[in-house]
Structure 1
Amino acid sequence: MIEYMEISIHCYSKKFVNLQENYFHILKLHSDQYKVSFNIDSCSEPKFSYYSLISPNSVEKNNELASCSDELLRTLRDYQDGAPPDVVEIESLSIGCEDNYTLNLEKHHFKGMFALKKLNVSCMVISSLPHDLFCGTTPWLNHLTISSTGILILPEKLFTNLPFLRTLVITKNAIEKLTDEVFWGLDSLTHLKPESNKLSMLTDLVFLPLKSLHILNMKNNSLDSLPQSLGSLSQLTFLDLSNNNLVEVSYDMFQGLKSLNRLYLTYNKIFQFEHESLTGLKTINYLDISGNVIQYLPEGMFQSSSLHTLSINENSYNEINPENFLITPNLRELNLAQSSIISLRSELLFYSPHLRLVDLRGNFVTELASDFLSKSPQLVYFYLQGNKISNLSSNFFHGTPILEDLNLSSNNFTILSSLLLKNLSCLLYVDLSNNSLKSIPKGFLSELPNLQILNLSGNELTNLLPDFLNGTRKLNKLDLSNNNIITLPDNIFDPLRFYDGFHHLELQNNKLEKLPDISFLEVSYLNLAFNNIEDISRDNFHNMTSLTHLNISHNAIDTLTNSPLILKYQNVMSLDLSGNSLSEIPNKMLMEAIRLQFLDISRNKLTSFKFSIVSNMQELSELRLAFNLIKNLKTLWYENPLPSMKVLDLSHNLLSKENTIQSKGAPTMEKKQWENLSPMNKFPNLEVNVLLHYNIRYFRVVHGKLEF
């Protein structure tokens, strides 16, 4: 049956009082069958303006109920056809159907709906679309959507009676072909969207009637060629042909599109552009031909002074000729990423002085000339990650004074010039991760007062100079993870002592044995995992009241007895102590961590764990105690439940079947119920409870039921 109908009604008469009596009575709505909402607006009598939504339940109980959804549509049509013109008129109608329901649209189905301006039909199955479906309908219909219907064919001259239609959306159907006369009569159409169909053929004259068309979206089809009539669309400003099967662009494919601004040819199978195939597009400002198999770009291919965004990434050309950019003085964004480029000539960007973004990531470039960016004074974003560059000259960025985002990650850098970032006072983000850097030169960051994010992870750093962070007054994230750092200078973080914006510090996967003074940092995220830290002193985390996520897992910590780690930190939400050598957790260590949600103490040497340690944590949802030496669940007993607990992991401990049962005389484990386990019955919302061990077969508790 029809799943929903949304009807917008325009009421302009003082006879609105008759609306419910004369209109809804005739519709015979069944509240169990239909979800029908009526949006009433523009009523002349203010006292009725609050009728913005009238439920089907408002119909009198003694009405004869409609038994068929098609009857409802017929009733709408018949009533509207004979309704007095001074009562109500339907302006907008949306029809949706349940899966596999067949909607029967008949000849003249919408006859009489003279005020209808917007019609949306979305049903999985439509029996057919009669060519005279819209005969007798209002000529003022300006928006028509027929989507997700499974229709294969649009009848010729289907839209002939809709001279003022401006938007036609026929997406997500199964249409395979559009013929010459299918769009006849659509002189006013400005938006046409036949995207996401199965279109493989467009006859030569199909677009000829569409003299006013501005937007044409045909992406996600199976087109391997375009009709000659495409060139007749002189008013077209937007054309999307993405995700089709086009293999080449001929010299005359886009001739006649003199108003085109945006062209998308992404993810086709294009391997070549014929000479001068784009020269007629004088007004083009956005061109995207990424995701094809283009091996060669003809000389002078881009010849539009209006072009400001060019994406030719994800192709297969090895080099690009600077002469292609001779007539692109207003280019703002150039994307050449992932295109198998081996080398780039120094003058490539000389003819586009207004570039703001250059993306060269994912190529095979080994070197760049020192003057490569010398004519790019407006460059803001420069992406060079994923190449094979081992060095850049000290003056490489001297021509880019307003550069903000620099990504040099995943290259082969082993050394850096201390002057490489000189005078880049606008720089906000620097990524040098995944290179082979062994050191950072003195003064490297000294002229970056606005730097916010610095990523040096995945290098071979063994130490850093005490003045490493000098000049970085606004840093908020520093990533030094995955290096070989053994020690950090005691005063390395001093430049950030009076700055409260530094929130994120990553030092995991190094060889740190101790920490410098970081107690004054207002960090919220601190990761020290996989180091060689043996002791956490009281001073390490003193006054770090903003800390919310702390990870000190997989170190060599064997005791916390003299280290009230987060005693005063009520904001901590995640604490990972796993992979150490802890034999006990001090009772008062976490007493004020009332917001803690995640606690992992797995892979230690605990022989017991008292739940009084976490008894105040009403938000704790995940507790992991796996791979310890806990023998008896009775030691876990406590009186106060934890209402937010979702996951409790006790796997790989020394539990046995006997001591998991609260009562010695209890039945075998296979017959035990949730309530007989101690203390798991204290977790009313527990979803997963794992007790895996060689002596106990795997089982879990899901929503209070034991499952083996």
Structure 2
Amino acid sequence: MLVCVFEWVGLAHEDVKSRGLSQVLVSSESEVQNDVFCNDLNLQSTPANLPPGIQKLDLSHNKLQNLTHETLAFHTTIHHLNLHSNKIQFIQPGLFKDMTNLKVLILSRNNLDVFALNKTKIGSLKAVESLDLSNNGLYTGMTDYFLGDSPAMTNLSLNGNSITKITKNAFCGSLALRKISLHNNVILEIEDGAFDLLDYLTELDLSKNSITCITDFNLSHLKWLNLSKNSLETFQTIDSEHLYELLYLDLSENKMPYFPVLPKRNKLEYLDVSRNHLRSVNNTGTVEELANFRGTILAHTPFRLITRYQDFSSLIYLDLSYNQIKSIPQTFICSMVMLEVLNVSRNCIESFFVNHEDILQNLKILDLSYNSLQNLSFGEKTLQSLKELFLQGNTLTTINPQTFQRLPGLRSLQLQQNNLKICIPQQIPVELPKKDHFYQDSPSCVFFYSIPALQFLYLSENNLRVLPANAFHNTPLKLLDLSLNPGLEIDPNSLSGLEHSLIHLLLKENNISQLNTDLSALSRLKYVDLSTNQLTTLPIWNKESSIESLNLQNNNLVTLEYNTVLVLERSLKTIYMGSNPLSCCSNIRFLHMVQRSAVVVPDIDTVTCVYVQDSEPVNIEKVTQDMCHTLDSRVITIIVTVVIALVLIVVLGLLSKLCHPRRRKHNSSFSA
């Protein structure tokens, strides 16, 4: 019985299965998609009763071992054949010769190494344009039995095999190839001329192999080359004036001590040299020799005309992260007129300067994080297109106070894990003045107001001691992270100017015992993190709240003010309250909010309260108002009893005093 599914136009594969149909029969061929799905059916042979006219046949994830004429040769209309994840170890030679419409053949994850051991060729694949032979245990020389006669092939995948060498004649029968993927093999050697005959080759993936050097790269037609995750120590292009079409080059995760020697004339847009052993961005000679060379150039050449050994005029993305680079000279980046992303994070850079407005004019993202920065300088009118700046993890202490005010397009600034102080404005003008005498111009602090586009500011772990008033005036922040600054003193007006912009406020782990800032003035504030502080009370909300998420974990909160909870619950969607010494019966409104409103408490399992003094904490979900009413009744009874006892004691005392004088008078009348 045939259990394959036939798909037709207008009816999805899942819909066919859900209706329990094993076949879909229609009278008109124009209505039929002719796609047959026999995947995941535990088949051990190709179904013998497949209908004629099939265009796509999916036999993946079965247990097929042999492909023969008897089962497939009659289906000459097939253009897409998927045999992925079977156990195929025999293909009858010439099986695909008459399949003149077959464009896509997927044979990945089979046992084709067994077939190749017999030194039998698969035969002609004249119509096949895309062939997938990945994960078949194939090693050097075995591909010859599959690629000998495939003149139309443009896409070839040999991923996940055991190929150690690319021979000169490996692709002689597939000269139309445009894309070759050899990812995750064991390639140690590429013979000279192995790819030279492939005039149409534009994409080549050699990632995750064991290649140690490329010393004569000459594939000028190639547009995309991935050599990541090899053991490359050298990448060098032949000395040529020929224009290379290469757009994408990935050399990441190798062992290169020097910068690659790229084509003199190129169109390169993407270059990744991250996770290598680069100590500098020089490609030849010592640092001192290159420094002397640059000095000669600088002495005799106008700055805007300085070019280096290589042309980077088309480069848009450059990643040099996770190396050992100590400096990025301006002579290296001056030709990068189109560069938008520069990542030099996780290096040993001590200084970074951009002092000329012609340099990095189009740069949008600059990542200098986790270096050893001591000096950072951006000249006036430089980096005018910069939107994201990453400086975290540098322990910066001293920079020009107006460094960030000079970046009009800056949208996101990451400054966590530094030692910067915030300057105190002496006067706040409507526009940024040209002179600095309005301000406390101290080189040990930096200004964060009047940065016109800044929306995201991260200042955690900066050892901040004071957050001054008006610190962010005229800066339209949406997110402000001041976490992990223990002992931070927050001025009541420190967030002035953020009333209509701030959405996220993070103040966790600051040892704050009392927050005097009026958060209700921040009309757009939605997410507040006050966790791991020493708060005993919440700030009073004087206006309607817009807060949707509030984190109060790990504080010293005993009672939440009734009016504050009343205001918050109108907008609140999520609240974190775990690890607080809450009183059960002093937070009736909070109990009501948690138990009966739509507010979600993700850490509800850790939210406990104390029912009576010195008792064990109980989960807040188990507390009821009746319990507290009963407790109140007991307390009232005890109080009434005590009061009555006190009244009786007072009355008895008064009666005792009244009776004592009468006894004295009675005794005196009978004296002798």
TM-score category by the smaller chain? 0.7 to 0.9
Q: How does 1:512-523 map to 2 (within 5 A)?
A: 512-515=420-423, 516-521=446-451, 522-523=453-454
The answer on whether the counterparts of 2:149 and 2:173 sit within 8 Å (CA) in structure 1 is: yes
- Secondary structure of 1:639's counterpart equals helix
Give the stretch that moved more between structures: 237-246 or 630-639: 630-639
Q: Which has the higher helix share?
A: 2
* Equivalent in the alignment of 1:612: 541
User: Is residue 660 from structure 1 mapped to residue 584 from structure 2 by the alignment?
Assistant: yes
Residues 571 and 480 of structure 1: CA distance in aligned 2, closer, same or farther (over 3 Å)? same
The answer on whether the counterparts of 2:566 and 2:589 sit within 8 Å (CA) in structure 1 is: no
User: Is residue 680 from structure 1 mapped to residue 615 from structure 2 by the alignment?
Assistant: no
* Equivalent in the alignment of 1:168: 57
Q: What is the CA-CA distance between 1:220 and the residue it aligns to?
A: 4.3
Distance in 2 separating the partners of 1:612 and 1:428: 44
* Equivalent in the alignment of 2:569: 642
Give the alignment partner of residue 626 of structure 1, picking from 545, 553, 568: 553
The answer on whether the counterparts of 2:108 and 2:134 sit within 8 Å (CA) in structure 1 is: yes
Give the alignment partner of residue 150 of structure 2, picking from 257, 265, 270: 257
Residues 693 and 661 of structure 1: CA distance in aligned 2, closer, same or farther (over 3 Å)? closer
Q: How does 1:424-443 map to 2 (within 5 A)?
A: 424-441=336-353, 443=355
User: Is residue 502 from structure 1 mapped to residue 410 from structure 2 by the alignment?
Assistant: yes
Distance in 1 separating the partners of 2:573 and 2:63: 45
Give the alignment partner of residue 469 of structure 2, picking from 535, 538, 541: 538
Distance in 2 separating the partners of 1:444 and 1:408: 22
User: Is residue 114 from structure 1 mapped to residue 8 from structure 2 by the alignment?
Assistant: no
Q: How many residues align?
A: 563
Residues 7 and 389 of structure 1: CA distance in aligned 2, closer, same or farther (over 3 Å)? closer
- Secondary structure of 2:565's counterpart equals coil
Distance in 2 separating the partners of 1:538 and 1:650: 30
* Equivalent in the alignment of 2:607: 691
Q: What is the CA-CA distance between 1:687 and the residue it aligns to?
A: 3.6
* Equivalent in the alignment of 1:450: 362
Deviations 1:418-462 (CA, angstroms, capped at 9, x unpaired):
311113211111111000011114637751111111000010112
* Equivalent in the alignment of 1:16: none
User: Is residue 215 from structure 1 mapped to residue 131 from structure 2 by the alignment?
Assistant: no
Aligned partner of 1:167: which letter? K
Distance in 1 separating the partners of 2:136 and 2:521: 60
Q: What is the CA-CA distance between 1:240 and the residue it aligns to?
A: 1.9
Q: What is the CA-CA distance between 1:575 and the residue it aligns to?
A: 0.9
- Secondary structure of 2:528's counterpart equals strand
Q: What is the CA-CA distance between 1:486 and the residue it aligns to?
A: 0.9
Give the alignment partner of residue 143 of structure 1, picking from 34, 39, 52: 34
Distance in 2 separating the partners of 1:420 and 1:146: 56
Deviations 1:62-111 (CA, angstroms, capped at 9, x unpaired):
xxxxxxxxxxxxxxxxxxxxxxxxxxxxx99976446xx9x796xxx77x
User: Is residue 475 from structure 1 mapped to residue 391 from structure 2 by the alignment?
Assistant: no
- Secondary structure of 1:253's counterpart equals helix
- Secondary structure of 1:406's counterpart equals strand
Q: How does 1:146-295 map to 2 (within 5 A)?
A: 146-155=37-46, 157-159=48-50, 162=52, 164-224=53-113, 230-250=122-142, 251-295=144-188
* Equivalent in the alignment of 1:391: 280
* Equivalent in the alignment of 1:305: 199
**TM-score, L = length of structure 1:** 0.71
Residues 226 and 383 of structure 1: CA distance in aligned 2, closer, same or farther (over 3 Å)? farther
**TM-score, L = length of structure 2:** 0.75
Residues 92 and 678 of structure 1: CA distance in aligned 2, closer, same or farther (over 3 Å)? closer
Distance in 1 separating the partners of 2:183 and 2:136: 13
The answer on whether the counterparts of 2:537 and 2:557 sit within 8 Å (CA) in structure 1 is: yes
* Equivalent in the alignment of 1:465: 377
Aligned partner of 1:365: which letter? M
- Give the unaligned 5+ runs of structure 2: 283-293, 295-306, 424-445, 625-672
- Secondary structure of 2:484's counterpart equals coil
Residues 634 and 594 of structure 1: CA distance in aligned 2, closer, same or farther (over 3 Å)? closer
Distance in 2 separating the partners of 1:193 and 1:591: 62
Residues 308 and 319 of structure 1: CA distance in aligned 2, closer, same or farther (over 3 Å)? same
Q: What is the CA-CA distance between 1:215 and the residue it aligns to?
A: 1.6
Distance in 2 separating the partners of 1:176 and 1:549: 59
Q: What is the CA-CA distance between 1:315 and the residue it aligns to?
A: 0.6
* Equivalent in the alignment of 2:459: 528
- Secondary structure of 1:291's counterpart equals coil
Distance in 2 separating the partners of 1:245 and 1:700: 60
Distance in 1 separating the partners of 2:245 and 2:7: 51
Distance in 1 separating the partners of 2:12 and 2:465: 71
* Equivalent in the alignment of 2:654: none
- Secondary structure of 1:475's counterpart equals coil
* Equivalent in the alignment of 1:381: 270
* Equivalent in the alignment of 2:322: 410
Q: What is the CA-CA distance between 1:312 and the residue it aligns to?
A: 0.5
Alignment root-mean-square deviation, CA: 3.5
The answer on whether the counterparts of 2:472 and 2:497 sit within 8 Å (CA) in structure 1 is: no
The answer on whether the counterparts of 1:270 and 1:293 sit within 8 Å (CA) in structure 2 is: yes
- Secondary structure of 1:591's counterpart equals helix
- Secondary structure of 1:391's counterpart equals coil
**Bigger Rg, which one:** 2
The answer on whether the counterparts of 1:147 and 1:171 sit within 8 Å (CA) in structure 2 is: yes
Q: What is the CA-CA distance between 1:6 and the residue it aligns to?
A: 11
